[in-house]
Amino acid sequence: MLTAPLRTGVTTVLFLAAILAGSLLGFLAPAAGQSVAGFTDPLILLLVGSLFFTLRLDGLPALRRAPRTVLLAVGMNFLAIPLIALALTMLLPSDALRLGVLIYCLAPCTDWFLGFTRLAGGDTITGAALIPVQLTLQLLLYPVWLALFAREHVDGLITSAAPTLLMWFVLPAVAGLGLRLLLRLALPVGVRRGIVAAVDGAVPGVIAAVIVAIFAGNVGTILAAPASFTWVLVVVFLFFAVTYALGEGVARLFRLRHPEHALLTMTTSARNAPLMLAVTTVALPDRPVVHAAIILGMLIEFPHLTVITALLRRRHGDGRDRTSPASVTTSGVKPRRLQNGQDSTLSSTKCSSTSSRPRSANQARAASTRLVPTPVPRACGATLVSPT
């Protein structure tokens, strides 16, 4: 499930290297590039199966624990963000680029956002529960989005692409989920987790292989207007900036606690590019520019997620909620420091310190041989403060 965000720098470099390798192969050796492009279909099958094999479906019961957060996340991802994406993609110079960026922006992430949520101190339990909900919604809405936002591209898409989607998407998805179920029934937890982690770690490599195949077979079309792809990067950057600002506004408006705030920020920022690339490659196989636009979006996404994770950690003290009980005194009053360094909750009455009382020689010898240290006396009336 790509829940290891510490690999984001390596993943970004891997994808850039895949773009460069595929482009060079297709440009310098066109025949070899076409041969490599022939592996696109089996790689897509492998990618879809791997994504569903690592999918978390065990968090659905947690939907009841935070209904407000779930409703806000779904509302932003499937109501507000589509309108933002539609407005921003109007800046792009071609219909193919516009369609590719729209597909990229419209699908919320169902895998690696959970790792960033954990690092930012967010609510990962509710995040795991959101995964199957958002996955189902985006797959059901995929043809609807295309019909609404790119009608000229998808005339008869549902009827013509249905058999292809069944063969190249539904079947490997069912195979991935079925294999995961079999492992759950046949293997102990430790072995099962190790297998899932291994497949999870291999997913970026599979995506990179898909990128190489796409660029190797279509480099001429993709790079015919390189300036156009610069606009893709600009629009995706603006998309992330606007959605982040919107998430901050919603979090303040609804007074979200830090775990809810971090989850909302991550689920509205991360996009489901691998799955959308797989679906679009199957549904629209003859549109390499659309595929390339989806791929380029990922190059901006990983650095963006890394930056907002750092912002959330710094703002909330490494992900800890400032309203947690650990920052409150046992009497419910936070201590206020005075100029002399003492707590305002300390009593102004002076008490004699027991450490200043003289002790007999026997008492001194007994104290020196004790294994348990003598408690340090504190001022009378002091309020105990829990460590933060």
Q: Which residue reads 């901050």 in tokens?
A: 248
The pLDDT score that the predictor gives to residue 157 is 57
The pLDDT score that the predictor gives to residue 10 is 77
Structure tokens given for 104: 């990229």
Rounded to a whole number of angstroms, the CA Rg of the chain reads: 28
Q: Which residue reads 């004699």 in tokens?
A: 352
Written as one string, the DSSP assignment of 322-351 is TTSGGGS-TTS----B-TTS-BTTS-SS--
C-beta atoms surrounding 359 within 10 Å: 12
Positions in the chain whose pLDDT score sits under 70: 1-9, 57-63, 65, 150-168, 317-388
The pLDDT score that the predictor gives to residue 209 is 92
CA distances from 193 to 1, 130, 200 (A): 11, 21, 10
The pLDDT score that the predictor gives to residue 195 is 92
Tell me which residue of 79, 51, 109, 83 sits closest to 270, measured CA to CA: 109
The pLDDT score that the predictor gives to residue 161 is 58
The pLDDT score that the predictor gives to residue 301 is 86
Q: Strand, helix or coil at 353?
A: coil
The pLDDT score that the predictor gives to residue 9 is 64
The pLDDT score that the predictor gives to residue 285 is 81
The pLDDT score that the predictor gives to residue 121 is 86
**Ranges of each domain in the chain:** 5-315, 329-388
What's domain 5-315's architecture?
Up-down Bundle (1.20)
The reported pTM is 0.68
